[in-house]
Amino acid sequence: MESQEIKNAISGILVVDKPVGLTSHDVVDHIRRGTGIRRAGHTGTLDPRASGVLVLLVGPAVRLSEFVSAADKRYQAILRLGNATDTYDAEGHFTRQPSTTPVDVTEEQFNEVLQTYIGEIEQTPPAFSAVKVHGRKAYEMARQGEEVELAPRKINVYHLEILEWAPPEVVIDVHCSSGTYVRSLANDVGIALGCGAYLVGLRRTKSGRFSLRDATPLRKLEEAFTAGNWYQYLIPAAEALAEWAAVELNPDEVEEVKHGHRVKAAADAKPGLVRGVSMAGELIAILDLDEVTMEWQPKKVFFS
């Protein structure tokens, strides 16, 4: 088998601990250059000023993107009380007059306001964000001084906790649904408190089932690319959906599914999406049950 053919067959997940200063796309470029595999992508943008867990899909596993991108996220965020910025973080321009007096907010008052943001809430993304308005990115419009009106969207916040109280700064733990802007949360909390607040630090500690324990610093991956042993960090694609039910396919069924053909389901099969895996545990496809014929219909196949 030729080297490029081998590369084209590689499929899996790289969990990177992204450093501050790089965009998520920068990291994807590093991975493409290092692996020699063009088919790679991330599963949820992390701002250049943020660090932490960035899940990348390599090879045919990129087809998992829509499922992995929708996974919940967890962050440690540093908020600074007493002012606000137009970008909702330290990159922007202040929108309030600086105060010379200490912030008059107690930890109890802060926590009381913070807890009101738990649950399903409506959140408006920052004007300085990559959300598109009539085909244009909002931040491009905002930088040109154009008025940007973004519609609020529903998100879920599952848990908010104060980790460190050191006013004017406070460190909080945020567990939320995909699509949540922690910058907006900081700004909204500041408005509710009446003193203003903006984000000065952000670290993603978890994305779906992958946490910092699973993440490899980008510098270490770069060293592995040079050494040629980066494969040791490649996680099987099936692990991205480890919480899903799995249907084991025998070799004949694997061939059928690879060609988009249905396979018979067990009599007690339950409806919904499942992983179709080989007897070796390799992710072959995402399957959906046809309850009329009691057959598994391939929805996404990871081999051709």
pLDDT of residue 63: 87
pTM of the predicted structure, to 2 decimals: 0.85
Q: Give the 3-state DSSP-derived string for the chain, with helices as H, strands as E and coil as C.
A: CCHHHHHHHCCEEEEEEECCCCCHHHHHHHHHHHHCCCCEEECCCCCCCCEEEEEEEEHHHHHHHHHHCCCCEEEEEEEEECCCECCCECCCCECCCCCCCCCCCCHHHHHHHHHCCCEEEEECCCCCCCCEECCEEHHHHHHCCCCCCCCCEEEEEEEEEEEEEECCEEEEEEEECCCCCHHHHHHHHHHHHCCCEEEEEEEEEEECCEEHHHCEEHHHHHHHHHHCCHHHHCECHHHHHCCCCEEEECHHHHHHHHCCCCEECCCCCCCCEEEEEECCCCEEEEEEEECCCCEEEEEEECCC
Reply yes or no on whether the pLDDT at 24 is more than 90.
yes
State the first-to-last Cα distance of the chain, in angstroms, to the nearest integer.
16
Catalytic residue among 47, 89, 188, 214: 47
Q: Is 47 a catalytic residue?
A: yes
Domain ranges of the chain: 3-70+210-239, 73-207, 244-301
pLDDT of residue 1: 40
Model confidence pLDDT, tens digit, residues 111-120 = 999 999 999 9
Model confidence pLDDT, tens digit, residues 34-92 = 999 999 999 888 989 999 999 999 988 898 888 888 889 999 999 999 999 988 999 88
Q: What is the CATH number of domain 73-207?
A: 3.30.2350.10
244-301 under CATH 2.30.130.10, yes or no: yes
Reply yes or no on whether the pLDDT at 33 is more than 90.
yes
Reply yes or no on whether the pLDDT at 164 is more than 80.
yes
CATH class of the domain comprising 3-70+210-239? alpha beta
Reply yes or no on whether the pLDDT at 196 is more than 80.
yes
pLDDT of residue 302: 81
Higher pLDDT, 244 or 99: 244
Model confidence pLDDT, tens digit, residues 227-251 = 999 999 999 888 888 888 999 999 9
pLDDT of residue 3: 58
pLDDT of residue 282: 86
pLDDT band at 4 (very low <50, low <70, confident <90, very high): low
Do the domains spanning 3-70+210-239 and 244-301 agree at the CATH topology level?
no
Name which of 83-97, 142-156, 247-261 the model is least confident about.
Answer: 142-156
* Average pLDDT over all residues of the chain: 89
Higher pLDDT, 93 or 130: 93
pLDDT of residue 144: 66
